[in-house]
Chains A and B, each alone.
Chain A
Amino acid sequence: MVALTVDESFQGRVYPARPAGTVTADALRAFARAVRATSPVHHDGAAAREAGYADVVAPPTFAVTLAQRAEAQFVEDPQAGIDFSRVVHGEEQFVHHRPIVAGDELTAELHVDRVRVVRGNAMVTTRVELAAADGPVCSVTSMLVVRAPEGEQ
């Protein structure tokens, strides 16, 4: 008996761009501390401006914090059938169009690029397009594996 854990009909769904909030210097500093990013451009506005940025700048993986909030529209939808206690992070990719800086007001558009169920295990690929008024900022692609319940693989 094969259990279809995740609803494959979600593949191709696009959740329209919605506000992802204003990026604050405090959020960037806290994230930078957590990933041991010690460069002053993450912490000190003056140092960031001296380096050519409008304000303190995000570490390369900060965008995941904004992307995961957008992904929740899909992964936390009961209709999607994702049991989060069985989720393992498979892959992650960032394509930066420009660095994220404090003060950025971004939008997040969520794409469900792929949903594939094999022997009850699902592989789900989402892509979040982060953009600002001046254009695209970062594309964040995430692949999650939703393991089948024991005995149903």
Chain B
Amino acid sequence: MTLSFDAAPVGTALPATVVELTRADLRAYADASGDTNPIHLDEAVARSVGLPDVIAHGMLTMGLAGQVVADWAGDPGAVVSFATRFTQPVVVPADGTAVVEVGGTVSGADPEARTVAVDLTVTSAGVKVLGRARAVVRLP
């Protein structure tokens, strides 16, 4: 059920969402996306290029954040644009999980286009991992 434009005024908060990521999740994203860069899969390679450990694909983090917007809107096709900067890596340990927290707020609304802008806050281990993450969503 798609959210209506009138039900998403400026200031509306999206439901806060917590996602846990394991190395298996990175493998699944690598297989599904074709992005098999070893810094997301192999500790030795990640360390050799100066990273603390294996890191999640930035596009996996962005995909999880986009999902929070799509679920809130009730229709993945409602997301007409989506942009972000990658500010810090999400480090994923071998024997545990990385926790990614996603929150969002409606920051603007265009009644003529029936679109709203959603600003997302995405953190892991207390650090902002996406910067200027914004989706524009068209609502009926």
Produce 1/0 per residue, B58-96, CB < 8 A to A: 111011101101110001110111111110000000000
Residues of A with C-beta under 8 A to B25? 34
Interchain nearest-CB distance for A5 vs B (Å): 15
- The reply on A7 being an interface residue by CB < 8 A is no
B: which residues have CB within 8 A of A?
19, 25, 28-29, 31-35, 37, 49, 58-60, 62-64, 66-67, 69-71, 75-77, 79-86, 135
A91 interfacial by beta-carbon distance below 8 Å: yes
How many Å lie between the Cα of A84 and that of B69 in the bound state? 31
Question: With the chains together, A64 CA to B32 CA distance in Å?
Answer: 11
Q: Shortest CB–CB separation between residue A147 and chain B, in angstroms? A: 9
Report A-chain residues with C-beta under 8 Å of the C-beta of B84. 91-93
Residues of A participating in the B interface, judged by any CB pair closer than 8 Å: 27, 30-31, 33-37, 39, 41-42, 51, 53, 57-61, 64-65, 68-69, 84-86, 88-96, 98-99, 141
Whether the pair B80, A95 counts as a contact (CB closer than 8 A) is: yes
Flag if A61 contacts B63 (CB, 8 Å): yes
A57 touching B77, Cβ below 8 Å = yes
Give the contacting residue for A30; candidates B19, B31, B60, B86; CB below 8 A. Answer: B31
Minimum distance in angstroms from B50 CB to a CB of chain A: 9
Please state if A69 and B34 are interface contacts (CB–CB under 8 Å). yes
Contact: A91 with B28, CB < 8 Å? no
- In the assembled complex, the Cα of A153 lies from the Cα of B85 at a distance in Å of 23
A-B residue pairs, 7 tightest by C-beta: A35-B63, A93-B83, A99-B77, A30-B32, A34-B32, A60-B66, A60-B79
Kindly identify which residue among B32, B59, B85 contacts A33, using a CB–CB cutoff of 8 Å.
B32
| Residues of A contacting B85 in the complex (Cβ-Cβ under 8 angstroms) | 90-91
For A58, what are the chain B residues with a Cβ–Cβ distance below 8 Å?
A: 76
Contacting pair B75 A51 (CB below 8 A): yes
Bound state CA distance, A141 and B81, in angstroms?
11
